[in-house]
Amino acid sequence: MSLSPLLEPEGWPRPAGYSNGVVAHGRQVFIAGQVGWNPRSGKFESATLVDQVAQALKNVLAVLAQANGGPEHIARMTWYLTSRAEYLAHLKEIGTAYRTVMGKHFPAMTAVEVAALVEGQAKVEIEATAVIP
């Protein structure tokens, strides 16, 4: 994906952990919301938000790999979280888990608190759009 340039309006502070916008050229890949379960068994191996974030990101990348893409091709993500308070309480650990899975690639991102997710044990669901050159 060609990320040229990141869209950061003049005078705005640089956001931490995401970009305000990106410009991308190539083949678009739309990845459905992924939760933090083991994709082979459909079972949650952890009840912690941090672990579920890491697994959900791995699941996003597994789908993206089917289109020969990687984390660097993700242009945007939306995170649906069941607890804003839990997310904010674990930001540092979530950031570490994010960088472990995604590296230092920070697409345009939105995080939204929701009342519940369809999968009752899920604490996060992440959807993504990627652009592959």
Query: For the segment 32-57, what is each residue's pLDDT rounded down to a tens digit?
Result: 999 999 999 999 999 999 999 999 99
pLDDT band for 116, please (50, 70, 90 cuts): very high
Question: Quick one: average pLDDT of 53-68?
Answer: 98
**How much is the pLDDT for 5?**
63
| Domains identified in the chain and CATH numbers | 27-132 (3.30.1330.40)
Check residue 78 and give its pLDDT: 98
Residue 79 has pLDDT above 50, yes or no: yes
Concatenated DSSP letters for 4-70? --B---TTPPPPSSSBS-B---SEEEEEEEEESSBTTTTB-S--SHHHHHHHHHHHHHHHHHTTT--
